[in-house]
Structure 1
């Protein structure tokens, strides 16, 4: 049996379909609340964590700590976890991601982390404008803003639209001028490339979650689709497209990074800068897959994942 640990049922339907198609039994553990009896042993099976750093934006602010407890319990009993306790920390912290990427020899944007508004301003003075601010624990591009200079940031921080990061840590990061208005996300399962996708930053801005459930109406800021629905945009309106020319050497570095950090399922994002740099800036350990890309990709991300998890139960 595969147990899927998560907190967002709206992201689950494509995975449910994939497990059914592959004939792999799966049980959801929705970790928004629950009881954990430490005197009992966990059931036998494979436990796949896809807890999201953006869980607090859905009213599930305690889910990450609940998941920490559950994964510690599972691993103490020797149960097989996929994207386990160590990987959860990577998901919850962009500082953790960036420092791990740098330790692996992968280039990342200039970034300074700060706690406290005055320290955020101090950090911004050390990063030439324009720059962006990000929440250390984020997701879906929420809380990401671009500023031309420290004065503009100071005005924002003093205003009503300023949002405190849930863990208190703000990142000030160089704004990377892209050679083309896109970022690329490389999807890996069990260390193997599934496919890569391009996200159109000219139309998507910083909101680049590929799941259909993330689709937002720019006029209202509300979800475009009800839970479980599938978005079918016109070809010239697609925010996400399949990319087939990613440098194999970069993919190899990501594969080595995944092995080094114990990442079995992930989407790693990079941007190609106008000055020739290739900068990796985000590691998604609860990766979602886009329906439009799935329709043309050489293989399915969710089904590849379901097959892999099924193989671990044999």
Structure 2
């Protein structure tokens, strides 16, 4: 029997989707790819495959999960299985450099960024960027890994030579211009089936705690955006006032890169110029924000996967 196969490495995130699949009485199976086998001598099962592998898997002890997922996706695609968020999506998930290159190719503006391997080279990259303040971040990231704000090269040098510096899992540290926003929030646009579902406004007054999942809250105070507003707002709030032209650009970008499900994050500076800085193909949703708005991402995703499964099982 054909099923929906969910490829992942984090049960806490995946259970929200499987709950919705069960509500819709859809047959499914989860593939937790921390460890496993890719049997190139056999054919994959029939069904629909959805990849939710995360760039931050190594922070949960699953160091080689993305590599195993890449091999599995190659096997599925070799046999022409229906795969949502396949090899190309994984390629962008695990590398912000790849993300930015793809976004710029689609005419979507990203912050000025330089990648570097080696502490001396990170300093050189900051000098080459030539703007302050600036931030560091990990190339293979998620959860705000490596995100810190610096106002000077000397501050960066102290960080690199001190105990707080963490080597990125792929060795690549990014130096990126700091986008100053007049308000302390960023916006994350959610897409399912390559189409816009909703946008969520994320309050960044207390730092880059940007993962909207209830199971993904980090305590990173290093990089606040803009000035804290006196108006009390929920940290995650679904909003309606989004730039439709930007959303259209994102949909074209997703189609060009064969990405079905994603959350795309962007910020606007004091001049109203918008910069896109993250494409998360392992997107999660915030329960409180969805309850307030009456919109449910995992339910829409389950329906999307169920519709795709119906097409594969037609006589």
Query: When the two structures are superposed, what TM-score results if normalisation uses the length of structure 2?
Result: 0.92
Aligned to 2:18: 16
Find the residue that maps to 1:126 and give its secondary structure: helix
CA contact (8 A) 1:195 1:297 kept: no
Compared with structure 1, are the counterparts of its residues 172 and 218 closer, same or farther at alpha carbon in structure 2 (3 Å cutoff)?
closer
Compared with structure 1, are the counterparts of its residues 279 and 218 closer, same or farther at alpha carbon in structure 2 (3 Å cutoff)?
closer
Return 5+ residue gaps in structure 1 as ranges.
220-234
Query: How far 1:313 sits from its partner (Å)?
Result: 1.1
CA contact (8 A) 2:94 2:141 kept: yes
Find the residue that maps to 2:250 and give its secondary structure: helix
Distance 1:216 1:166 in 2: 18
The worse-fitting range, judged by mean Cα deviation, of 21-30 and 256-265 is 21-30
Aligned to 1:34: 36
1:51 partnered with 2:47: no
CA contact (8 A) 2:203 2:233 kept: no
Aligned to 2:96: 94
For 1:157-196, what aligned pairs fall within 5 Å after superposition? Answer: 157-196=160-199
**CA displacement 1:266-302 (0-9 Å, x = unmatched):** 0000001112211000000010000011102343111
Find the residue that maps to 2:215 and give its secondary structure: helix
Query: Which residue, 127, 150, 160 being the options, matches 1:125?
Result: 127
Distance 1:126 1:276 in 2: 26
Distance 2:49 2:28 in 1: 10
The worse-fitting range, judged by mean Cα deviation, of 16-25 and 303-312 is 16-25
**CA displacement 1:46-103 (0-9 Å, x = unmatched):** 1100100000111100101110111111111111100001110010000000010001
Query: Which residue, 246, 255, 264 being the options, matches 1:259?
Result: 255
1:278 partnered with 2:274: yes
Distance 2:219 2:95 in 1: 28
Query: Which residue, 242, 245, 257 being the options, matches 1:249?
Result: 245
Query: Which residue, 102, 114, 117 being the options, matches 1:115?
Result: 117
Aligned to 1:209: 211
CA contact (8 A) 2:4 2:29 kept: yes
CA contact (8 A) 2:143 2:218 kept: no
CA contact (8 A) 1:142 1:207 kept: no
Query: How far 1:24 sits from its partner (Å)?
Result: 1.8
Query: How far 1:251 sits from its partner (Å)?
Result: 0.6
Query: Which residue, 199, 202, 222 being the options, matches 1:199?
Result: 202
Query: When the two structures are superposed, what TM-score results if normalisation uses the length of structure 1?
Result: 0.92
Distance 2:141 2:155 in 1: 22
The worse-fitting range, judged by mean Cα deviation, of 280-289 and 14-23 is 14-23
**CA displacement 1:181-237 (0-9 Å, x = unmatched):** 00000000112211000110102x112110000124689xxxxxxxxxxxxxxx957
CA contact (8 A) 2:186 2:202 kept: yes
